[in-house]
Amino acid sequence: MRKYSIGIDLGGTKILTALVNKDNGEIVSSIKKKTKKDKGPDKIVHKIIKSIKEVLIEGKKEITDIEDIGIGVAGQIDRNKGIVINAPNLDCANLNLKEILEQEFNKKVLIGNDVEIATIGEMYFGAGKDKKDFVCIFVGTGIGSGIVQNGEIRYGATGTAGEIGHIIVDIGGRPCGCGGCGCLEAYASRLAIEKRIIGALKKGRKSDIQNYLTEDKPIKTSMIRKSLENKDELVTQIINEASEYLASGLASVINFYNPEMIILGGGLMDAVGYFYEKSTQIAKIKSLPTPSCNIKFAKAQLGDFSGVIGAALLSEYRNSKIYNTENNT
């Protein structure tokens, strides 16, 4: 008999909800809703509940057909209590999602963070399948990672391991959203790249990307890709700079942790092949010879669905013998 779960990827700009076949990772149905304008706990909870109901209707299932609900949140969470401690991009703090949704649907609810669930998705059904020691790095608004050692996610002493976006790559450098300066994500995240492009345009630099921009629309990944394909000087320069910084972060991971594989995901990494190739090539050059010879790179195979598939599998992972409930808040 097939097993189904609801997986939810709750990010700063969207809620992606899916009905997932847990046996093979198949997406039966999915719903995406934007969260940019509708933030705050009440609005977020309302959207989540509505999304769950809609995805069940689209998948022609009842709530009684699913085993549980898994959610990954872009923010600090308490895994054991199911509380969103702080999610600044959602304007949510001390939100007990587990309690609210369990009362609403009478199903077990599990909470993880967004990179954790994406790593679980890739570990079960993606590029990390059958791999024991690897790191999943996702480049988006910020940069985060999930560390897998001997087939087990490492959470660290305080449950915050994997914050690669806050490796310092430039002492006293650009300000970061964390309050520090010189962090990797201030140089190589999608947001950092967009800021650099917009800043250059405001200073009078000309670029092919101006042909795609309008005042009310942000820079999209597709615009960056098209500009690179057209060999635009400005966009190529900025992507090259970001690649250098990202490669420094990757080289640090290779030298320090010595994984067998680094999996790279996120919309920009998935869609802009030049960024992926440039970053990984430079990383091999910058890292030490012995770990560099053995390291393998791969793109995340599940794309946008790595998070929802991983969220749907949270119960499977946490019920497994390898999951350690200590120090994973």
pLDDT at 323: 62
Q: In this structure, are 22 and 165 located in the same domain?
A: no
- The structure tokens listed for 226 are 């098209």
Specify the pLDDT at position 224: 93
Structural domain includes residue 205: yes
pLDDT of residue 13: 79
121 falls within a domain: no
Q: Where are the beta strands (DSSP E) in 126-217?
A: 134-139, 143-149, 152-153
- On the question of pLDDT at 74 being above 70, the answer is yes
Res. 254: pLDDT tops 80? yes
For the segment 59-75, the average pLDDT, to the nearest whole number, is 94
Same domain, 104 and 161: no
The residue with greater pLDDT, 256 or 329, is: 256
Q: How many residues does the chain have?
A: 329
Strands 108-113 and 66-73: parallel
CATH of residue 176's domain is 3.30.420.40
pLDDT of residue 328: 58
Same domain? For 163 and 276 the reply is: yes
Per-residue pLDDT at 240 exceeds 60: yes
Number of H helices, E strands in the chain: 12, 13
pLDDT confidence of residue 325? 53
The pLDDT assigned to 27 comes to 96
| 289 and 309 housed in the same domain | no
- Largest Cα separation within the chain, whole Å, is 62
Q: What angle do CA 191, 11, 71 make, to 5 degrees?
A: 150
Range of the domain at 138: 127-300
User: Residue 83 pLDDT > 70, yes or no?
Assistant: yes
* 255 and 109 inside one domain: no
Note the pLDDT tens digit of each residue in 105-160. Answer: 999 999 999 999 999 999 999 999 999 999 999 998 889 999 999 999 999 988 88
In a domain, 23, yes or no: yes
Do 41 and 141 fall within a single domain?
Answer: no
Distance CA 323, CA 325 (A): 6
Q: Classify residue 45: in a domain, yes or no.
A: yes
Q: State the pLDDT at residue 214.
A: 79
> 69 and 159: one domain?
no
Residue 238 has pLDDT above 90, yes or no: yes
User: What is the average pLDDT across 219-246?
Assistant: 94
HEC readout, 229-259: HCCCHHHHHHHHHHHHHHHHHHHHHHHHHCC
The answer to whether residue 252 scores a pLDDT higher than 70 is yes
197 falls in which pLDDT band (50, 70, 90)? very high
Among the residue ranges 24-38, 52-66, 280-294, the one predicted with the least confidence is 24-38
Domains in the chain: how many in total? 2
* Same domain (yes/no): 107, 231: no
Looking at the structure, tell me whether residues 262 and 218 fall in a common domain. yes
Residue 95 lies in a domain: yes
Examine the domain organization and report whether 72 and 134 are in the same domain: no
Q: How confident is the model at residue 322 (pLDDT cuts 50, 70, 90)?
A: low
Residue 37 confidence class, pLDDT cut points 50, 70, 90: low
In a domain, 329, yes or no: no
Whose structure tokens read 């994500």?
185
Indicate whether 65 and 165 sit together in one domain: no
On whether residue 188 sits in a domain, the answer given is yes
**Phi and psi at residue 168, in whole multiples of 5°?**
-80, 120
What whole-number percentage of the chain has pLDDT above 70? 96
Would 43 be classed as within a structural domain? Answer: yes
Q: Are residues 198 and 96 in the same domain?
A: no
Q: 45 near 97, Cβ under 8 Å?
A: yes
**Higher local confidence (pLDDT), 102 or 218:** 102
pLDDT of residue 177: 84
At which residue do the structure tokens 């964390």 appear?
A: 178
Is the pTM above the cut of 0.85? yes
Q: Which residues fall within 8 angstroms of residue 39, CB to CB, at 6 or more apart?
A: 89, 90, 91, 92
Paired strand residues for 70: 7, 110
Categorize the per-residue pLDDT at 329 as very low, low, confident or very high, splitting at 50, 70 and 90: low
- What pLDDT score was predicted for residue 215? 73
Residue 115 has a pLDDT of 92
Letter string b/e over residues 271-300, b meaning 16 or more CB atoms within 10 A of that residue's CB: ebebbbebbbebbbebbeeebeeebebbbb
